[in-house]
């Protein structure tokens, strides 16, 4: 399936008469966003030195599971937003500058919607069989 043909128009929560249209992202763009986030995380750990490395070593399986469920921890928001947002009510055509100028609440919500569209939630049975 060509992902560019799959689009979803969403009402922006808490903003009357505001909407955003997103497209389903292809696997390569998701990989790019994941790689970008991993690069950022690695650089952060590197700046912390030995303390950062020790903290990463002490991460529990529950913490890893929680991180995997959090799209903001798994993907670079900027990469996702710039690739997925195709139209919105804020202006005629979303620009990268406008996309980068959104507040945290909108970004968090939109990233969740983008990832859900690209990777719909799997059932517990699917998870066990994966």
Sign of the CA dihedral with 110 first, then 114, 115, and 119 last: positive
The string of pLDDT tens digits covering residues 67-115 is 677 677 889 999 999 999 999 999 999 999 999 999 999 999 999 999 9
Is-contact 67 73, C-beta < 8 A? yes
- The overall longest dimension of the chain from CA atoms, in Å, is 50
Q: How far is CA 64 from the centre of its chain?
A: 17
Per-residue pLDDT, averaged over 7-36, amounts to 95
pTM value is 0.77
Nearest to 107 by CA among 2, 13, 32: 13
pLDDT class of 46 with cuts at 50, 70, 90: confident
Domain positions in the chain are 3-129
pLDDT class of 129 with cuts at 50, 70, 90: low
């Amino acid at each position: 399936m060509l992902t560019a043909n799959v689009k979803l128009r969403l009402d922006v929560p808490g903003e009357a008469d505001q909407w955003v249209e997103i497209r389903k992202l292809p696997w390569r763009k998701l990989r790019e966003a994941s790689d970008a986030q991993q690069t950022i995380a690695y650089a952060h750990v590197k700046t912390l030195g030995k303390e950062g490395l020790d903290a990463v070593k002490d991460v529990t399986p529950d913490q890893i599971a929680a991180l995997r469920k959090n799209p903001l921890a798994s993907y670079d928001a900027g990469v996702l937003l710039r690739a997925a947002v195709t139209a919105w009510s804020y202006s005629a055509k979303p620009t990268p500058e406008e996309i980068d100028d959104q507040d945290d609440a909108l970004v968090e919500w939109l990233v969740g919607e983008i990832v859900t569209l690209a990777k719909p939630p799997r059932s517990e049975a699917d998870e066990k069989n994966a």
